[in-house]
Amino acid sequence: MTVAPVYKQGWTMDDVHWSLFDPQEVDQTLLCAIKAAALVEYNAPDYVTYLKRVFAGSQETMTALEQWGREESQHGRALGRWAEMADPTFKLEEAFVRFRKGYTPAHFEGGAEASVRGSRRGEMVARCVVESGTSSYYTAIRDATEEPVLKEIAGRVAADEYRHYKMFYDILNAQTEPDIGFWTRLKIAIGRVRESDDDELAYAYYCANVPPEKEAITPYKRKKYSRMSAHASMTVYHRRHIQKLVQMVVKVVGANPHGWLANMAGALLWRRLQSRTA
C-alpha cells in the first residue's frame, strides 16, 4: 500500500511539482468540481473580515484568522492554476469576479460584531464543521485522482484543512463566554451542514463551468447546479472518508467520536451520499 506524503504547514506555490502534470489522467467530472472549489477557497478574505468582526479584541485569535485566510486563498490559487492547466479555457480570476458579483452572504456585508451562530463558541462549532468537510473532501480527492499534480495539491490542502480544524477547535475551547450545550452545538452543526445546499457551492459551480458568453442561454438555477455540483464532488468519496468527517463533527458537538452517534450518523450520511450520486 502506498503511503501518502505528510505535508507540513507553510508550503508555497513554488513547492508544488507542476512539471509532473499529466493531462491524460485528468478526469473531466472531477475537473468541474475542482474549478468550483477553487472559487470557494479563493473567497476566504470575506470570511476573514467577518470572523475578525466577531472576534474583535482578541489579537491572538485575529492573527490566527489572518493566517488561516492566507492559506485558504492559496488553496484557491493552487486549485485554480491546476484547473487552468487542465482546461486552458478556464481563467480563475475571471470566474472569480463573476462569482463575487453574484454571491455575497448578508452577514458578510453588515457591520455587526455578533456571530450569526449566536456566540463565538457557536461560530467555532460551525467553522469546525466546515473544516471537517473540507479535510475529508480533499483527502478523498487525493485518494481518487491519478493525476500527480492534483494528488499533491489535494494532499497539501487536506493537511492544511485538518490543522485548521484543530485551530478552530482550540479557539472554541479557549473562549471565556459561557459554554453551549450538546443540543445547541448539534443544532448549529446540522444547520451549517444544511447550508451546503445554498448558493455558494451551486453558484461557484455555475461560474466555474458555464462561460459568460453562454449565460443568456444557460441561466443560473440553484437546484440544478446544486445537484450538478454534488454529483461532481461526491463521486470521490469512500465510506472511510465519510466516517472520518462524521467523527470530527461529532467530537466538536461534544460526543464520543467513536461511539454510537458517530456510527449511526456515518451510516446515514453514507446512504444519503450514495442516493445523491446515483
Instruction: Give residue-wise pLDDT tens across range 125-149.
Output: 999 999 999 999 999 999 999 999 9
Residue 183: pLDDT band with limits 50, 70, 90: very high
Instruction: Give residue-wise pLDDT tens across range 223-263.
Output: 999 999 988 998 899 999 999 999 999 999 999 999 999 99
Residue 113 pLDDT > 80: no
User: By percentage, how much of the chain surpasses pLDDT 90?
Assistant: 81
Kindly list the domain boundaries of the chain, sorted by start residue: 25-277
CATH architecture under which domain 25-277 falls? Orthogonal Bundle (1.10)
pLDDT for the residue 197 = 67
User: Can you tell me which residue has the cell 453514507?
Assistant: 270
Burial grade of 177 (CB within 10 A; 0-12, 13-18, 19 or more):
exposed
Helix, strand, coil fractions of the chain, as percent rounded to 5: 75, 0, 25
Residues 138 and 161 sit within 8 Å (Cβ to Cβ)? yes
Query: Rounded mean pLDDT of 178-203?
Result: 90
Residue 1 pLDDT > 50: no
Residue 199: pLDDT band with limits 50, 70, 90: confident
pLDDT for the residue 8 = 85
Cβ neighbors of 73 (< 8 A, separation 6 or more) are 41, 42, 44, 45
Higher model confidence: residue 275 or residue 72?
72
Instruction: Give residue-wise pLDDT tens across range 45-81.
Output: 888 999 999 999 889 999 999 999 999 999 999 999 9
DSSP class per residue in 177-235: SPP--HHHHHHHHHHHHHGGGSHHHHHHHHHHHS-GGGTTTS---HHHHHHHHHHHHHT
Instruction: Give residue-wise pLDDT tens across range 79-90.
Output: 999 999 999 999
pLDDT for the residue 139 = 97
